Amino acid sequence: MHIKHNQKKEKCFVGAHCVLYLCKLSLLYRSIPLDLFDISACAYKGKLKMNVAALDAWAENL
């Protein structure tokens, strides 16, 4: 089952929170192919942290 499907109605992601959730999930899944291709975590870890920080800053304004 999908995460959102299993949530109680008062805790569902809506609107901008859905976008934030999907963006962070997308960043998480990007690391999987990089690991499969044996690309060092050092090569993308800094950029990943920067992207997550930008999303967190955006989330504070929701």
pLDDT at 1 over 60: no
User: How many Cβ atoms are within 10 Å of 37's Cβ, its own excluded?
Assistant: 7
- Is 12 strand, coil or helix? coil
pLDDT value at position 6?
A: 66
Structure tokens at 32: 């999987």
Report the alpha-carbon distance of residue 62 to residue 47 in Å, rounded. Answer: 23
User: How many Cβ atoms are within 10 Å of 31's Cβ, its own excluded?
Assistant: 14
| pLDDT tens string 2-59 | 666 666 666 666 778 888 888 888 888 888 888 888 888 787 888 888 988 999 998 8
pLDDT value at position 47?
A: 85
Query: For the whole model, what pTM was predicted?
Result: 0.60
pLDDT value at position 10?
A: 65
